[in-house]
Amino acid sequence: MNSSTHNALDQLDSLGWWYQHFQLPNGLWTGDGVEPGYYPQPRWEMIAAHMPADLGGKSVLDLGGNAGYFSIQMKLRGAARCVLVDPYVQFLEQAKFAASQFQVDIEMICEDSHVYCLTTQERFDYVLLLGLLYHLKYPGLVLDRAAEMTRERIYIASAVIGPEVEGPAKKANYERYTEDDLLLDPGFPKMAFIETLYNGDPTNWWLPNHSALPALMRSAGLRVIARPHQHVLVGEPAENFDQQFGTAIYGNLVFPRYGKGDGTTHPGAQSVDAGLWKDLGARAAEFRKRQREGK
Ligand SMILES: C[S@@+](CC[C@H](N)C(=O)[O-])C[C@H]1O[C@@H](n2cnc3c(N)ncnc32)[C@H](O)[C@@H]1O
C-alpha cells in the first residue's frame, strides 16, 4: 500500500461511518454495504437510465445529498452545476472529501431542505430527492417546492410500506361515510405518521404506501414518467404546470421548530447523535482495519 493510499485511509478514518458505500478513484471503498449503510450504485443505474448521457450545461439540486455519491455521478456525467443540501455536518464533511477525490466541484449547503426550498427562488434542470421524503415532517411542502424548482426531471426514491398494489380506481369525489371503505383499501394512497421512532431513527416521520408516492407527485404538478422500482420514481412538470402552479412569496415566513424529544430540534444544522456516531464509527474502524490489511 503506497503512502497516498495510507493518507486517504487516515482521512476516511477521521470521517467516521459512511451511509453511502462506494469506491473512490484510488480503489478504496467508503464502506462494505452493511446496513444501515448501502451501495447506491444500483439506484444510480435506475435513475441514470432516465436522463441524457451528457448533462453538459445542466444544473442539479441534490436534496438530502449525504456523502455526495449522486451529486458526483451527475457531475461526472457533465452537469455544469450541482448544489447538495444536507443538514448533517458529518455527511457534508464526507461529501467534501469524496468530491475532492473525484476532482469535481459541488456547492454544499448545510441546511434543512424545508428551509432551503422555502428560501430560494432558484430552479434546477434536474432535482434529486432520494431517500429524503420520509425524513421530512412536511413532505408535501418540500415535494411541492421541489416540483416547482424542477425544469426538466425530478428523481424520487422513498422507503415504502405495504404491498405493491394499486388502489381502487381514482374517483373525482369520495362520499363521506358511504365511501370511507375505499379510503381504507390497502391500495388507496396513505402515509403512516411516525410519532416515535421507526427503525430506531428519530428523523423518520411519514412512510408512504405504494400508491401514495405517485399520488403525491401528481398533486405537486408532476407527471410520473417511470417507476423503475417500487421505491424509485421519475417525474417531470406536467404540461400545464406553469399555469396551474407557481410560487407564493411571503417576506416574513415563520417556520415551526420540531423534533421528537431526543434533544434535536429542526430545522437547522444537525450533528448525528454522539452515542450513535461512536457506535457506527467503531463499525467503520473495523472495516477500515480490514482495508489496511488488504482483506
Ligand atoms: C436515507 S439518506 C439518503 C441519502 C442520499 N440521498 C441517498 O439516496 O443515498 C437521508 C439523507 O437525508 C438527510 N436529511 C435528513 N433530514 C433532512 C432534511 N430535513 N433536509 C435535508 N436533508 C435531510 C440525511 O442527513 C441523509 O443524508
Q: Is the CB of 66 under 6 A from ligand 1?
A: yes
Share of the chain above pLDDT 70, in %: 100
Q: How confident is the model at residue 167 (pLDDT cuts 50, 70, 90)?
A: confident
Q: Strand 222-229 vs strand 206-208: parallel, antiparallel, or unpaired?
A: unpaired
What does the alpha-carbon distance between residue 245 and residue 58 come to, in Å, rounded to a whole number?
A: 23
135, 155, 206, 265: residue to mutate for ligand 1 pocket, most atoms within 8 A of CB: 135
What does the alpha-carbon distance between residue 48 and residue 151 come to, in Å, rounded to a whole number?
A: 17
CB-facing half-sphere around the CA of 205: CA atoms within 13 A? 15
- In the prediction, which pLDDT does 83 show? 98
In this structure, the number of other CB atoms found within 10 A of the CB of residue 78 comes to 13
Q: Is the CB of 148 under 6 A from ligand 1?
A: no
For the chain, what's the residue count?
295
- Tens-digit pLDDT profile for residues 61-91: 999 999 999 999 999 999 999 999 999 999 9
Q: How confident is the model at residue 56 (pLDDT cuts 50, 70, 90)?
A: very high
Q: Which of 181, 185, 204 is nearest to 193 (CA)?
A: 204
- Return the sign of the alpha-carbon dihedral for residues 127, 132, 134, 137: negative
Q: Is the pLDDT of residue 4 over 90?
A: no
- Tens-digit pLDDT profile for residues 114-136: 999 999 999 999 999 999 999 99
- In the prediction, which pLDDT does 16 show? 96
Helix (H) or strand (E) holding 189: none
Which protein residue's CA is at the shortest distance from atom 27 of ligand 1?
A: 66
Q: Which CATH number fits domain 3-292: 3.40.50.150, 3.40.50.720, 3.50.50.60, 3.30.365.10?
A: 3.40.50.150
Query: Residue 169 has what DSSP assignment?
Result: P
Q: Is the pLDDT of residue 1 over 80?
A: no
- In the prediction, which pLDDT does 244 show? 81
- Give the three-state DSSP class for 127: strand
Spell out the residues 6+ positions from residue 10 whose beta carbon is closer than 8 angstroms to its own. none
- Tens-digit pLDDT profile for residues 239-278: 888 778 889 999 898 999 999 877 779 999 999 989 999 9
* Average confidence (pLDDT) over 192-206: 95
Note whether 168 and 155 are within 8 A (CB).
no
Q: Strand 191-193 vs strand 150-157: parallel, antiparallel, or unpaired?
A: unpaired
- Tens-digit pLDDT profile for residues 89-119: 999 999 999 999 999 999 999 999 999 999 9
What is the rounded (10 degree) CA torsion for 196, 197, 202, 203? -100
- In the prediction, which pLDDT does 264 show? 79
Residue extents of the structural domains in the chain: 3-292
Write the DSSP assignment of 82-95 as a string of letters.
Answer: EEEE-SBHHHHHHH
- Give the three-state DSSP class for 63: strand
- Give the three-state DSSP class for 270: strand
Helix (H) or strand (E) holding 42: helix 41-48
15, 43, 60, 86: residue to mutate for ligand 1 pocket, most atoms within 8 A of CB: 86
Q: Is the pLDDT of residue 161 over 90?
A: yes
Q: Is the CB of 150 under 6 A from ligand 1?
A: no
What does the alpha-carbon distance between residue 273 and residue 250 come to, in Å, rounded to a whole number?
A: 34
Q: Is the CB of 40 under 6 A from ligand 1?
A: yes
In this structure, the number of other CB atoms found within 10 A of the CB of residue 286 comes to 12
In this structure, the number of other CB atoms found within 10 A of the CB of residue 108 comes to 20
Per-chain mean pLDDT for the chain: 95
Q: Is the CB of 113 under 6 A from ligand 1?
A: yes
Spell out the residues 6+ positions from residue 162 whose beta carbon is closer than 8 angstroms to its own. 186, 209, 210
Query: Residue 163 has what DSSP assignment?
Result: -
Angle at the Cα of 167 (from 164 to 171), degrees rounded to 5?
160
Q: 9-13, 32-36, 242-246: which has the minimum mean pLDDT?
A: 242-246
Q: Is the CB of 86 under 6 A from ligand 1?
A: yes
